[in-house]
Structure 1
């Protein structure tokens, strides 16, 4: 594999991890990497090593940042890796220690991190491969169903609850914990020639052509402010808006950044566990940023219409978590704020959904990502399933309008 051979620093990193795990001599028996469109900031290698002396095998996932200036000058790669490294070295240990001190067992919400390398521009993280514990990715072409959304909203209730509680009980510790976190979403809007802004602007203008006079008049009027670059301004406002009721977010929460575990029951499967992937866009912000992004990018009109029920699932999970940690949910995050925050912060979820849905409606061979040049983006501009994309984004717009969030 060319990418592996071209990165001796990654090979050296894996050797250090293996040695720390008691495998000084090994052979690589499997080596693969992520596909196009699965990660903007670097290359992810999946590696299985085999101990030469004992035949013990170790399955690893190595996230390695792009080192080339052509990528780093136009993408917030340093900030992204700094966030994820901070999550595994500070956020996760601090939250887990706090939870245990409160007499509660923390949820395993992310993979185990074996080792990190923070030197710029060769940032790397080595994580456990969750596939060996029977976790799997959800097919990104498919719509998440009610079972998955019920589970996810319950899960986010617990995940958000940990940070909410730390903030309430130990505000100084929380302030120190979130201070180093960098707003990667905001950085995307500050890159002058970045593909993200061009892509978002072009996609927003394309969506405007889907709206038909006489059928979508109400949406047309509300959508005017998103056209001709307006979506960039509104997105920037959404990702920099400050409020009092914040928690540490997952950040980049579409279905490809989650892994699920199932239990076989006869001829059916039951979802029993999940893990969060890609903690590069963690933020201290309203939980609605996570919830709206997840719902709109992964669901359909059927799931959008069930949002009130998902609100209740989320809030019950949040309430139980906070109560177990000695806090009162009504004081920390009153239920009425969920819908109020949806009106204020769901535009972030909507904007990211435009990008994600276009990716989901594109065949693998035609996918471009933020590292591709403008010519490649131009060539791939119309290589997606226009009919599916049109239907799904219009469903998002109608639901946003219904929630008074458009």
Structure 2
């Protein structure tokens, strides 16, 4: 077994699971090569290793091992075990149920495949998932610092519409199972854990102020005034959108972290202009909420604000059309499941979610690899908040351009 560094050496349980998988596949006399599966900044909640199995008689088997951070203060900042349990549930129970619904109703252009999970563990401090490497199937992750164009944007909205639509179908046709699976009315685990940190509210206000400085006090005078007026209510609105008691009956499972790093694209040809397939990954913080949370987070994190300004209504029409098609092909009425007036109501309420998290995570997402703190080291809550969420980068100008566009779009559409 070859490994690039000591951090990539498998634990006993990981090795046993890999050996078991290879035995099930009838493989013997093989070499195992372990490589880093991601760069710093690509995955914030664990470590990714790429495992390549080479034999003399069969094609290479390529796998991804996603494992938790096993020690240090970072485990106490976020509930790693619950997050791995949630991702395992999504991959092995919820998503397969959606695919069954899709197959039963013969949806030909619906929710596209996610990585197949071969082995997993949610044993405390030994959490891992062993799954297919989608890169081996022609998928790739794009640069998180670049905008997605219209073709990419529509493909993502198409997939979100079918993910949410199939969830609505399950909710209406299998209410007991849906209720059982959604009975854990947990909040966004990242938000709820950070907000228990007494210093976080102060840092949140600092991040808000930093975002406001991206607005020009002269040309953006009215936008700036309205944005500053929102400051005192931002924290309450942030938590209200996560509060289970404030959710209505039009909520389903959402991805909850739908941005460019969790989107893998496959292309028609080497020009890589028009994507033909999309694979959604990283389901660790999925929960029950409005589908607009996913739409908002994606649009404000990963697309050009100018594209939004010019095409927002068209994009929302496209999403709702795809959602309607998915639901009605499953023999349900969109007016019963998710009527248009509720959709509009959710847009007004939940589009601010993407603004909140662009303020909180935008600078981090746009930073270069060598600028991102090593949060897997012994980092306490205060240091995480200061070093990670309040990061300064060579790309601060890019952050300022993006956050300015996001704020302007949200204010002009009365989302804040």
TM superposition score normalised by structure 2: 0.88
**CA RMSD between the two structures:** 2.6
Aligned to 1:142: 146
CA, structure 1 residues 356+307, in 2 after alignment: closer, same or farther (shift >3 Å)?
same
370 and 310 in structure 1: CA distance in 2 versus 1, 3 angstrom threshold: farther
1:76·1:187 contact (CA, 8 Å) conserved in 2? no
Aligned position for 2:79 = 76
Give the CA deviation at 1:15: 2.3
Distance 1:176 1:27 in 2: 43
Structure 2 residue 88 is the aligned partner of structure 1 residue 85 = yes
For the 8 Å contact 2:300–2:355, the answer to whether it is kept is yes
Equivalents in 2 of 1:232, 1:10: separation in Å?
A: 41
Aligned to 1:385: 395
Aligned pair count reads: 402
Q: Which residue of 2 aligns with 1:127?
A: 131
**What is the distance in 2 between the residues matched to 1:254 and 1:287?**
14
Q: Distance in 1 between matches of 2:257 and 2:323?
A: 20
Aligned to 1:274: 278
Aligned to 1:44: 48
Contact kept, 8 Å, 1:109 with 1:275, in 2: the verdict is yes
Equivalent pair of 1:65/1:123 in contact (CA under 8 Å): yes
Range that drifts further, 125-134 or 205-214: 205-214
Q: Unaligned regions of 5+ residues in structure 1, if any? A: none
Contact 1:4 1:11 in 2 (8 A): no
Superposed CA offset, 1:227-265 (max 9, x none): 47x544331222224122112111110011010111128
1 CA distance for matches of 2:121 and 2:52?
A: 20
Contact 2:254 2:288 in 1 (8 A): yes
Tell me the residue number matched to 1:300. Answer: 304
Distance of 1:369 and 1:222 partners within structure 2: 37
Secondary structure of 2:367 counterpart: coil
Equivalent of 1:178 in 159, 178, 182? 182
The DSSP-based 3-state class of the residue aligned with 2:33 is strand
Distance across 2 between alignment mates of 1:19 and 1:198? 54
Q: CA deviation at 1:91?
A: 0.5
Task: Measure the CA separation in 1 of the matches of 2:155 and 2:72.
Answer: 41
Change beyond 3 A, Cα 1:210–1:99: closer
CA positional deviation for 1:63: 0.8
Say which is worse superposed, 63-72 or 288-297, in terms of deviation. Answer: 63-72
Q: Distance in 2 between matches of 1:119 and 1:294?
A: 32
Deviation at 1:291, TM superposition (A): 0.3
- In the alignment, what sits opposite 1:335? 340
Once the two structures are superposed, what CA deviation does each residue of 1:148-193 show, in whole Å capped at 9, x if it has no partner?
1111111211111100111122222211122247432443344426
CA offset digits 1:5-33 (Å, max 9, x no partner): 37443333322332233225431235223
Of 265, 274, 277, the match for 1:260: 265
Does the C-alpha gap of structure 1 residues 302 and 351 become closer, same or farther in structure 2, counting only changes over 3 Å?
A: same
Q: Normalising to structure 1: TM-score of the pair?
A: 0.90
Residue 70 (structure 2) pairs with residue 60 (structure 1):
no
Q: 1:209 aligns with which of 210, 213, 216?
A: 213
What 5-or-longer segments of structure 2 have no aligned partner?
A: none
Aligned mates of 1:201, 1:44 — CA distance in 2 = 33
Q: Is the 8 A contact 1:358 1:389 kept in 2?
A: yes
Partner SS, residue 239 of structure 1: coil
- Between 316-325 and 178-187, report the one with greater CA deviation: 178-187
Following the alignment from structure 1 to structure 2, what is the Cα–Cα distance between the partners of residues 23 and 197? 54
Distance across 2 between alignment mates of 1:18 and 1:219: 59
Partner residue of 1:321? 326
